[in-house]
Amino acid sequence: MAVATVAALLAALGGALWLAARRFVGPSVQRLHRGGDSGLMHGKTVLITGANSGLGRATAAELLRLGARVIMGCRDRTRAEEAAGQLRSEICQAGVPELGPDSGGGGELVVKELDLASLRSVRSFCQEVLQEEPRLDVLINNAGIFQCPYMKTEDGFEMQFGVNHLGHFLLTNLLLGLLKSSAPSRIVVVSSKLYKYGDINFEDLNSEQNYNKSFCYSRSKLANILFTRELARRLEGTNVTVNVLHPGVVRTNLGRHIHIPLLVKPLFNLVSWAFFKTPLEGAQTSIYLASSPEVEGVSGKYFGDCKEEELLPKAMDESVAGKLWDVSEVMVGILK
């Protein structure tokens, strides 16, 4: 009886929290759900990294609905193909006409293998894209790894810095020519508010002297912002824009490396369902920056909830951004 009573109380509390949370996060979901926008991205090709789950999957679904041709760059091809099948089914069930380049309805969906923890894979992926794609209108650097135990990429880089920053750094640089020839085009970088707790230690970028998984994640997200600002400076006059965003706190599998004690899990799940954004809610700023006419020509800015936000001074340090770019070029082999 006592267990049943507690369960009922938790359920009631959860319902109340859920309803309260909708009042705060609901409006952002409606921003792009306007009538008459189903063809907004028709004829445009969008590449999304990590598009088989979470934010990436939600972003892919919405851009498909808007008519884009979406390339899913994913590490696990099997899981990506499964997600692609589900997305096609969901789009059709939602009443969007048949997917395809000439259908006049939803966009086309393409799956390609991409492992950002392997520079070899990044190069192979980009070579395939450059050979097969005549244009690239939007690149969304979405994939990431969050607070994992200390491990290294195939090339010997600390995993979070290697995947979240270096893998995307190489990917973007290798695709810049195609983005420029497709201009006006856009690059969207997914960072995090947790950048505030990181710094760039050029003496130990690989975290071999000291590793703290939370700090290293924050460092990689700060690197995303510095990269975006330096790239925006380099792209001035090319009609290619680049902006960075934070999605807020979202319910995704990004936190799979976080250990939550068994007894605490029910409370954590309750709180997450009440106050964390859904993937679709979290993806709204990515979708906005990829498709909205409102940000045409805007570059080098930091966004949250589809609005520009201020950055801490350390994220606007031009000398650090320039040095990080130069060091990254050497690390990924662009410069010897």
The verdict on pTM exceeding 0.75 is yes
Question: pLDDT value at position 295?
Answer: 98
Mean pLDDT of 55-60: 97
The residue annotated as part of the active site, out of 150, 197, 217, 288, is 217
- Mean pLDDT comparison of 29-38, 58-67, 85-94, 274-283, highest-scoring range: 58-67
| Distance separating alpha carbons of residues 58 and 328, to the nearest angstrom | 30
Place of tokens 């939550």: 260
Quick one: 254 exposed, middle or buried, by C-beta within 10 A (0-12, 13-18, 19+)? buried
Mean pLDDT of 194-204: 97
Question: pLDDT value at position 264?
Answer: 44
150 given a catalytic annotation: no
Least confident of 5-9, 117-121, 260-264, 316-320: 5-9
Instruction: Give yes or no for a cis peptide into 293 (omega within 30° of 0).
Output: no
Which are the contacts of 274, defined by CB distance < 8 A and separation ≥ 6?
14, 17, 18, 20, 21
Percentage of the chain modeled with pLDDT above 70: 77
